[in-house]
Amino acid sequence: MKNFIIFLFTISVLAGCGRDNPAPNDPCQGVSVTVTGTTSNPSGTSANGSIMASASGSTGPYSYSINGGSFQVSNQFTNLAAGSYTIVAKSAAGCTGNATFTLTATSPCAGVNIIITPTVTGTTPCVNGSGFISVSATGGAAPYLYSINNGAFQSTSSFQGLNNGTYQFVVKDSNGCTATLTGVTVASRAEGPKFAAVKALIQANCVSCHNATNSSGGINLSTDCNIVAAKDRIKARAVDGNPSPMPSGGLLPASERQKISDWITAGGRVID
């Protein structure tokens, strides 16, 4: 009886070895899929970032998924805002790997240097608000907007109606990047040669009777602006002798009268 039991046990063990089948091979066993990529960060709050992924370590072609979404053939993901993204790459055999990429919002103004160049035209003496400044900008993204002395931005780069003084300009480009230029000075324009010649005549022949103390006929010709304001009267009296000549001793020589006519023809201003 003892020998019989041992025999049956031996047969059972041999029969069990014959029924065991080896498990099928896993195609991804020992395979490591590596995911890498290049990123482009978004600008500010815009969703214009991107990730271009690539995979290696298994047999392609690969398909790609971002943040648990559907797999796609393209390895490029666009229109991304700032944040973290996990990309899974899957090979033709179904082997997968993943990597996480972080996109950081960048300032659209980083590295932008806007240069402001002013062109100043000074005021004409005795004419209020006759100065103007035109500015140009380079270095940013056109079109630009312009502001003077912290006023509202405008699309035109020319500022007229200015008096003597110091002005500040701010230029803003299409990305909102700004630059500031301070200390732009408007001053009076220089005295013109024709006016200088007439002024010399007035001082030599008329100011003794027409000054702040003795303003004969109510006319004071001791200042530049008074001379300009009285130009029509000066021509009538000193050039045409109407209704009587000025100076009172008789008309000036023809060459002197011509200087007055030339000045008035040129505009009759201090700058002429």
Tell me the pLDDT tens digit for each residue of 159-176.
999 999 999 999 999 999
Structure tokens at 129: 């608000």
Asked if 96 contacts 27 with a C-beta cutoff of 8 angstroms, the reply is no
| Model pLDDT, residue 22 | 42
Asked if 145 contacts 155 with a C-beta cutoff of 8 angstroms, the reply is yes
Asked if 95 contacts 27 with a C-beta cutoff of 8 angstroms, the reply is yes
Flag the least confident range among 14-18, 177-181, 245-249.
14-18
Res 10 pLDDT > 50: no
Structure tokens at 134: 């035109």
Q: Which amino acid is at 99?
A: A
Looking at domain 115-186, does it have CATH number 1.10.10.10? no
Asked if 188 contacts 123 with a C-beta cutoff of 8 angstroms, the reply is yes
Confidence of residue 24 (pLDDT cuts 50, 70, 90): low
Confidence of residue 131 (pLDDT cuts 50, 70, 90): very high
Neighbours of 64 (CB within 10 A): 25
Asked if 75 contacts 62 with a C-beta cutoff of 8 angstroms, the reply is yes
| Model pLDDT, residue 268 | 96
| Model pLDDT, residue 246 | 84
| Model pLDDT, residue 209 | 86
Res 259 pLDDT > 60: yes
What value does the mean pLDDT take over residues 212-231? 90
Neighbours of 83 (CB within 10 A): 14
Phi, then psi, of 260 in degrees rounded to 5: -65, -45
| Model pLDDT, residue 8 | 32
What value does the mean pLDDT take over residues 199-226? 89
| Model pLDDT, residue 117 | 98
Domain assignments of the chain as residue spans, ordered by start: 34-103, 115-186, 193-266
- Strands ordered across the beta sheet of 165-172: 145-148, 165-172, 178-186
Tell me the pLDDT tens digit for each residue of 60-92.
899 999 999 999 999 999 999 999 999 999 999
- Strands ordered across the beta sheet of 158-162: 115-121, 131-138, 158-162
Structure tokens at 29: 């066993």
Tell me if domain 34-103 and domain 115-186 are identical in fold: yes
Sort strands 131-138 and 158-162 into parallel, antiparallel or unpaired: antiparallel
- The CATH code of the domain at 34-103 is 2.60.40.1080
Q: What's the CA gap between 256 and 251, in Å, rounded? A: 9
Q: What is the pTM of this model?
A: 0.64
Nearest to 76 by CA among 95, 53, 94, 44: 53
| Model pLDDT, residue 11 | 30
Tell me the pLDDT tens digit for each residue of 26-39.
889 989 999 999 99
Q: What's the CA gap between 206 and 247, in Å, rounded? A: 6
Res 262 pLDDT > 90: yes
